[in-house]
């Protein structure tokens, strides 16, 4: 059986710019699905095609088995929450929410009853007769939500709905959106460039870059098992390593050679055979660090290095450790270790270690993606040396 919302090989170009390049996605009924990517990645164009504001150059969009590719926006059971909210300034909150039902020419009594229900859902009863200019940003956003939900859409599209709000309000609305999604059970397609929003709200995320989907998966899959260097670097921080696969040591583990490192062991679910290049991503918090060499067996990699920078951030400490030509970012919650009373300082010789499962082999690697990460604090200047 086909999925609830099916995007099949959809492409869209503006002039010579290919905004969306043969994207295919399947979205389940009732799912909170995010399109996450940097600005210009095509996520908004894809959303506008779902809404009907743009027509795909090729490909199909199916909603509940029906091809809606060429349906105009007013003929789709899909509603949008716009980044600017796009409330009607000449209408009151109540009239804004009622607009869609009035267009359908429902009886007045029924419209009033439904609008009252919506006003209660978004807790705006007190503002019902105000014009949009007189209510706050968070309230405007709730009017936009109510105005869309009253249409009982099969899919609700949200175009960076929190981008215009300040941080505090954003966190509050994030929670509210989550609650509303749970209450109404409608499929949400949420466009954002903010990984925090996407990670905390979504059932699944499609990470987009340059008009293509890089990876589709749950927040955990996206973070823990990134397929490409773009996903690894865009969501959270990471360290990249370039090496060469050697022989298998176990069913799913390979020996790995990285220039300047001793022989390593690495999880190899991609079945990369000996002699082939490997790009590895290891998240900073997956490393252990200490002065004494730990006695860990089997699947652990233990490597000596030298601390080049330490940044104490309160909740965690960030170390930059030099191993040959690599400058490795390591995050630790403790800056004091149980076996080692002295905190680690600049220029200390240390051991770093990680489990073979925590290094993740990438299917695609592009050097440009390294620019997406936070860089070593070289910019702190000469005074940084102790």
Partner 1 sequence: MKRSRLPFVVTIGVLIFFYLPIMVLVVNSFNASTYGGHWGGFSLRWYLKLMGQRDILLALENTIIIAISATLASCILGTTAAFALHYYKSALQRCHFILIYTPLVVPEILMGMSLLLAFVAVGVRLGLFTIFLAHVTFCVSYVAMVVLARLQDFDMAVIEAAQDLGANWWVTTWRVLAPMLAPGIASGALLALTLSVDDFVISFFVAGPGSTTLPIRIYSMIKFGSPAVLNALSTILLAVTFILVWASQRLTTNKEKAT
Per CB under 8 A, residues contacting partner 1 are 51-53, 72-74, 78-80, 82-84, 86-90, 99-100, 103-104, 131, 133, 147-148, 151
Minimum distance of partner 1 from residue 113's CB (angstroms): 18
Q: What phi, psi does 380 have (nearest 5°)?
A: -65, -20
- Closer to partner 1 by Cβ: residue 48 or 227: 48
Tokens for 317? 């400490």
**Residue with token string 């600005």:** 39
Nearer to partner 1, 90 or 168 (CB): 90
d(CA 253, CA 266): 5
Residue (84 or 123) nearer to partner 1, CB: 84
Shortest Cβ 2–partner 1 spacing (Å): 25
**Cα–Cα distances in Å, from 333 out to 236, 344, 350, 353?**
16, 13, 17, 15
Minimal distance, residue 148 CB to partner 1, in Å: 8
Residue 8 half-sphere exposure toward CB, CA atoms < 13 A = 14
Least distance (Å) between residue 99 CB and partner 1: 5
Instruction: In whole angstroms, give the CA distance from residue 228 to residue 242.
Output: 13
Beta strands in the chain (DSSP E): 5-14, 17-27, 32-36, 58-63, 66-67, 78-81, 155-159, 187-192, 204-209, 212-217, 239-248, 253-258, 264-267, 277-282, 288-290, 300-312, 317-323, 326-332, 349-355, 359-361
DSSP class of residue 91 equals: S
In Å, the largest CA–CA distance within the chain is 78
- 175: its two tokens: 């929670």
What's CA 103's distance to the chain center, in Å? 36
The end-to-end CA distance of the chain, in Å, is 65
CB of 80 to partner 1, least distance (A): 5
Nearer to partner 1, 27 or 78 (CB): 78
**Nearer to partner 1 among residue 99 and residue 287 (C-beta):** 99
Nearer to partner 1, 89 or 275 (CB): 89
Q: By the 8 A CB rule, do 24 and 8 touch? A: yes
Nearer residue to partner 1 within complex by CB, 111 or 278: 111
| Min dist. Cβ of residue 85 to partner 1 (A) | 8
- Minimum distance from residue 105 beta carbon to partner 1 (Å): 10
**Beta partners for residue 323, in sequence order:** 326
Shortest Cβ 47–partner 1 spacing (Å) = 12
- Residue (101 or 373) nearer to partner 1, CB: 101
**Nearer Cβ to partner 1 (141/268):** 141
Are 148 and 156 in contact by the 8 Å Cβ rule? The answer is: yes
267-271's contacts with Cβ under 8 Å and 24+ in sequence apart are 267/356, 267/357, 267/359, 267/360, 267/361, 268/361, 269/361, 270/361, 270/363
The residue among 87 and 232 lying less far from partner 1, judged by its C-beta, is 87
Work out how close the CB of 168 gets to partner 1 at its nearest, in angstroms, rounded to a whole number: 24
Query: How far apart are CB 101 and partner 1 at their closest, in Å?
Result: 9
């Amino acid at each position: 059986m086909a999925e609830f919302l099916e995007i099949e090989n959809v492409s869209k170009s503006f002039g010579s710019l290919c905004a969306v390049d043969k994207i295919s996605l399947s979205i389940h009924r009732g799912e909170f699905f995010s399109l996450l990517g940097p600005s210009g990645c095509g996520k908004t164009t894809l959303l506008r095609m779902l809404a009907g504001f743009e027509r795909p150059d090729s490909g199909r969009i199916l909603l509940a088995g029906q091809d809606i590719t060429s349906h105009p926006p007013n003929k789709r059971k899909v509603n949008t929450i716009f980044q600017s909210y796009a409330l009607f300034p000449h209408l009151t909150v109540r009239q804004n929410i009622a607009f869609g039902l009035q267009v359908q020419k429902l009886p007045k009594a029924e419209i009033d009853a439904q609008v009252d229900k919506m006003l209660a859902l978004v807790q705006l009863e007190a503002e019902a007769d105000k014009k949009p200019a007189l209510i706050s940003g968070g309230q405007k956003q709730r009017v936009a939500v109510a105005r869309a939900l009253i249409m009982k859409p099969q899919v609700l599209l949200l175009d960076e709905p929190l981008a215009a709000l300040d941080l505090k309000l954003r966190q509050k609305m994030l929670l509210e959106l989550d609650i509303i999604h749970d209450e109404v059970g409608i499929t949400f397609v949420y466009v954002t460039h903010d990984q925090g929003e996407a990670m905390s709200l979504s059932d699944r995320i499609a990470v987009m870059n340059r008009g293509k989907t890089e990876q589709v998966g749950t927040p955990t899959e996206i973070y823990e098992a990134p397929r490409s260097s773009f996903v690894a670097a865009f969501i959270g921080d990471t360290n990249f390593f370039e090496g060469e696969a050697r022989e298998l040591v176990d069913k799913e583990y390979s020996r790995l050679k990285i220039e300047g490192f001793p022989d390593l062991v690495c999880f190899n679910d991609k079945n990369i055979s000996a002699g082939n290049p490997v790009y590895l991503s290891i998240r900073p918090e997956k490393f252990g660090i200490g002065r004494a060499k730990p006695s860990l067996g089997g699947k652990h990699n233990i490597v000596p290095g030298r601390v080049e920078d330490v940044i104490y951030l309160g909740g965690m400490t960030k170390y930059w450790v030099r191993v040959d030509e690599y400058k490795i970012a390591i995050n630790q919650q403790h800056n004091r270790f149980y076996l080692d009373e002295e905190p680690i300082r600049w220029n200390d010789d240390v051991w770093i270690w990680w489990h073979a499962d925590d290094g993740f082999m990438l299917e695609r690697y592009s050097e440009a993606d390294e620019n997406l990460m936070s860089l070593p604090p070289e910019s702190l200047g000469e005074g940084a040396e102790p």
